[in-house]
């Protein structure tokens, strides 16, 4: 736990729980303090330190009582034990008064008070002082038709944990190989895949599967290192499995092939996205991000850049649009200041709920954490980004395991990131695909799905595991932008490499699949209480699997913090005992959530050797 102060302020009876810190003077404590009013009580900051009270305990001073944190902890623990929704599960992470910064609901009172917590913390350490501008409220109740289980769990009981989904690799992998004379080194490939109709069956769009991928045409021999000159290639398919490389006639690579190739333009690390959210913008069906010759195809990439967003010249742009994904028009140069860099898989996409564009790029290359992930969103709904500051450093690793790039996408109420983790010091140069999540894209709250134990996080479970020795993907995994729901599965395309990152290797396109909505789950046996959720319909539905080999696997869900006699309580819920997708939850009495529509409720989940992916009233 980081040093400093962590407060949890509850409605009703004020509870102030503070982490232990070191007795150390701070300028704010020497002459003044701030007063905050919560629930009718005045909380005086820094007063205990000024009065020289016991250094190992901070005293909660209110207008009507003074209590030490030990007393507060005892009172909270007693209240929590008396209520099902505030069970002992909420106290995991509270070890010897050690308040976990990830446990927003660390100290609970009864029933609705559990849902009104505010979390206050500070980076001012070691001291007991808090500045008002550093305060932040706890998340508001979630509001979505469908919720991902990993994002709304407030407490995990028993053996329940967040787990990465289990992919299946296509038995006929690889599905595209470097077999053209100009494909001397596909390198990381940075693939971008767009399905027919752009993925939306209600929209007019492309009639075939489309693929854009990178190629290093400067490699001296096939597979050899060397990537000074990069180009963007194109392929299409009728089924997303068998790919065709058409002759485009757009880019002259010199003799003997000249323009008889599938090269689109000159540039590297390019992200291409289908964007049809604006029905009046026929020329704006595809959006591209990255340093490239978007307009002319052959411009010099060392052209001088402007220092702010502006209309790009025909010879140079970082942001571009296209009607067909082949002929492009520059929109803007995006000259973000250091540490932003374009030498990765850049990505841009429109997010409908946010009504904003999201850009994902690289922040930094060296230093103690090496490569990191940078994310920013457009200031408005228009295509463009503020370049007065570098994108937010959203996620970082360490010098040994550096974050090369991230494919970011929305999964219901959550954002997922397939993060390419480069083992920079291993000597084998492997790049592994791991999975992270956040409730917002431009956030420092990104965390690993598999984050538990010494093997979690940077060294956690792979999302698309590397293949065995001698396979096409034995060393390298670079996920495509983006995963695609298709039929009853999720398709994850990726570029696999059979040699070290900086050494000789061939790269090929592979395919892995998941069950629908199977990216990540709450898995195991135990009970889970959710954060408050907005009920949006009368029928609760769930996607859940029973773990293979389990003798008596099941799943139940009902309202939390209600008497067992309530018809929507967990006790009245009928168990699910088979793998289901968007299946209706039923109760003994035939009750529905109709009277709760529009209200805020919390759910209690019971897993017995099960994995729950999503649930909601959508």
Please spell the DSSP secondary structure of 513-580, one letter per residue.
EEETT-SEEEEEEEEEEEPPEE--SS--EEEEEEPTT-SS-EEEEEESSS-TTSTTBGGGBPPB-S-E
Residue 445 above 70 pLDDT? yes
Residue 232 above 50 pLDDT? yes
Between strands 533-534 and 347-351, the pairing is: unpaired
Looking up tokens 């010897």 gives: 96
Q: Give the Cα separation of 208 and 331 in Å (integer).
A: 26
Residue 497 above 70 pLDDT? yes
Of the candidates 311, 322, 330, the residue with the CA atom closest to the CA atom of residue 281? 322
Main-chain dihedrals φ then ψ at residue 264, nearest 5 degrees: -90, -50
Beta strands, E only, 109-204: 118-121, 146-148, 153-156, 161-164, 168-169, 192-194
pLDDT tens column, 161-174: 999 999 999 999 99
Of the candidates 488, 492, 490, 485, the residue with the CA atom closest to the CA atom of residue 464? 492
Name the 3-class secondary structure at 459: helix
Instruction: Say whether the peptide bond before residue 256 is cis (omega within 30 degrees of 0).
Output: yes
pLDDT band at 425 (very low <50, low <70, confident <90, very high): confident
What is this structure's pTM? 0.78
Mean pLDDT taken over the chain: 77
Of the candidates 531, 539, 518, 524, the residue with the CA atom closest to the CA atom of residue 593? 539
- State which fold the 168-517 domain adopts: Tachylectin-2; Chain A (2.115.10)
Q: Give the Cα separation of 412 and 406 in Å (integer).
A: 18
Query: What number of other Cβ atoms are within 10 A of residue 281's Cβ?
Result: 13
**Contact in structure between 164 and 449 (CB atoms under 8 Å):** yes
Residue 104 above 80 pLDDT? no
**Contact in structure between 533 and 205 (CB atoms under 8 Å):** no
Q: Which residues contact 529 (CB under 8 A, 6 or more apart)?
A: 85, 87, 89, 90, 153, 154, 155, 560, 602, 603, 604, 605
**Over residues 324-344, mean pLDDT:** 93
Window from 226-230, 236-240, 358-362, 581-585 with minimum mean pLDDT: 226-230
Please spell the DSSP secondary structure of 312-363, one letter per residue.
PPTT-EEEEEESSSSSEEEEEB--PPTTEE-SS--EEEEETTTTEEEEEEEE
Main-chain dihedrals φ then ψ at residue 459, nearest 5 degrees: -105, 15
pLDDT tens column, 249-272: 999 998 999 999 999 999 999 999
| Beta pairing partners, 164 | 520
Q: Give the Cα separation of 368 and 371 in Å (integer).
A: 9
- Which pLDDT score, from 0 to 100, does residue 280 have? 65
pLDDT tens column, 523-564: 999 999 998 999 999 999 999 999 999 989 999 999 998 999
pLDDT band at 199 (very low <50, low <70, confident <90, very high): low
- Which pLDDT score, from 0 to 100, does residue 443 have? 92
Q: Give the Cα separation of 554 and 524 in Å (integer).
A: 11
Beta strands, E only, 401-540: 401-411, 414-423, 431-438, 447-448, 476-479, 484-486, 489-497, 507-515, 520-530, 533-534
Task: Compute, in degrees rounded to 10, the torsion defined by CA atoms 45, 48, 50, 56.
Answer: -120
pLDDT tens column, 16-28: 222 222 222 333 3
Q: 395 burial class (0-12, 13-18, 19+ CB within 10 angstroms)?
A: buried
Q: Give the Cα separation of 74 and 229 in Å (integer).
A: 66
**Contact in structure between 548 and 523 (CB atoms under 8 Å):** no
- Which pLDDT score, from 0 to 100, does residue 517 have? 98
Query: What number of other Cβ atoms are within 10 A of residue 541's Cβ?
Result: 18
- Which pLDDT score, from 0 to 100, does residue 594 have? 96
Q: Give the Cα separation of 378 and 319 in Å (integer).
A: 12
Which stretch, 52-56, 94-98, 425-429, 491-495, has highest mean pLDDT?
A: 491-495
Name the 3-class secondary structure at 439: coil
pLDDT tens column, 374-394: 999 999 999 999 999 999 999
Radius of gyration over alpha carbons of the chain, in Å? 27
Of the candidates 195, 257, 119, 232, the residue with the CA atom closest to the CA atom of residue 485? 195
Residue 88 above 60 pLDDT? no
Residue 80 above 80 pLDDT? no
**Contact in structure between 262 and 234 (CB atoms under 8 Å):** yes
**Contact in structure between 235 and 176 (CB atoms under 8 Å):** yes
**Over residues 445-472, mean pLDDT:** 91
């Amino acid at each position: 736990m980081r040093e400093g102060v962590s407060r949890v302020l509850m409605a009703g009876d004020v509870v102030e729980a503070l982490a232990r810190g070191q007795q150390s003077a701070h300028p704010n404590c020497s002459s003044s303090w701030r007063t905050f009013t919560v629930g009718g009580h005045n909380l005086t900051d820094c007063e205990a330190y000024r009065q020289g009270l016991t250094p190992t305990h901070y005293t909660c001073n209110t207008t009507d009582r003074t209590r030490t944190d030990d007393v507060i902890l005892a009172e909270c623990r007693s209240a929590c034990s008396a209520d099902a929704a505030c069970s002992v599960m909420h106290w995991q992470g509270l070890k010897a008064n050690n308040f976990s910064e990830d446990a927003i609901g660390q100290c609970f009172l009864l029933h609705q008070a559990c849902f009104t917590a505010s979390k206050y913390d500070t980076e001012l350490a070691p001291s007991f002082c808090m500045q008002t501008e550093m305060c932040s409220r706890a998340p508001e109740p979630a509001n979505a038709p469908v919720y991902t289980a990993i994002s709304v769990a407030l407490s995990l009981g028993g053996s329940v944990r967040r787990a990465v989904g289990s992919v299946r690799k296509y038995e006929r992998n690889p599905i595209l190989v470097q077999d053209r004379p100009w494909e001397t080194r596909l390198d990381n490939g940075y693939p971008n895949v767009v399905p027919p109709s752009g993925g939306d069956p209600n929209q007019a769009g492309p009639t075939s599967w489309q693929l854009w991928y990178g190629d290093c045409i400067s490699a001296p021999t096939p597979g050899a290192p060397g990537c000074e000159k990069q180009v963007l290639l194109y392929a299409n398919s009728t089924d997303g499995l068998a790919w065709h490389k058409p002759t485009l006639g757009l880019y002259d690579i010199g003799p003997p092939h000249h323009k008889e190739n599938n090269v689109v333009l000159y540039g590297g690390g390019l992200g291409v996205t289908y964007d049809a959210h604006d029905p009046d913008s026929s020329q704006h069906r595809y959006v591209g991000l990255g340093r490239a010759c978007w307009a002319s195809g052959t411009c010099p990439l060392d052209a001088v850049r402007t220092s702010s967003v502006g209309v790009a010249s025909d010879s140079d742009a970082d942001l571009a649009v296209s009607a067909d994904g082949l002929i492009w028009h520059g929109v803007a140069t995006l000259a973000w200041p250091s540490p932003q860099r374009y030498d990765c898989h850049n990505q841009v996409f429109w997010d409908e709920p946010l009504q904003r564009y999201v850009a994902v790029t690289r922040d930094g290359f060296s230093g103690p954490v090496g490569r990191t992930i940078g994310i920013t969103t457009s200031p408005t709904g228009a295509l463009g980004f503020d370049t007065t500051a570098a994108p937010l450093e959203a996620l970082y690793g360490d010098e040994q395991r550096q974050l090369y790039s991230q494919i970011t996408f929305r999964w219901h109420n959550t954002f997922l990131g397939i993060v390419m983790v480069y083992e920079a010091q291993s000597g084998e140069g492997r790049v592994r695909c791991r999975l992270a999540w956040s409730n917002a894209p431009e956030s420092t709250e990104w965390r690993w799905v598999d984050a538990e134990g010494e093997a979690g996080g940077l060294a956690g479970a792979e999302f698309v595991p590397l293949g065995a020795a001698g396979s096409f993907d034995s060393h390298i995994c670079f996920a495509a932008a983006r995963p695609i729901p298709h039929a009853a599965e999720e398709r994850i395309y990726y570029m696999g490499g059979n040699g070290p990152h900086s050494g000789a290797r061939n790269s090929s396109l592979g395919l892995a699949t998941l069950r629908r909505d199977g990216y990540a789950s709450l898995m195991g046996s135990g009970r889970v209480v959710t954060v408050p959720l907005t009920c949006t319909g009368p029928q609760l539905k769930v996607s859940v699997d029973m773990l293979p080999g389990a003798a008596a696997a099941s799943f139940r869900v009902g309202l939390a913090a209600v008497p067992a006699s309530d018809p929507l309580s967990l006790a009245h819920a009928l168990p699910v005992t088979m793998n289901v997708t968007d299946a209706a939850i039923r109760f003994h009495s035939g009750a529905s959530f109709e009277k709760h529509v529009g209200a805020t409720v919390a759910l209690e989940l019971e897993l017995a050797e099960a994995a729950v992916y999503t649930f909601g009233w959508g």
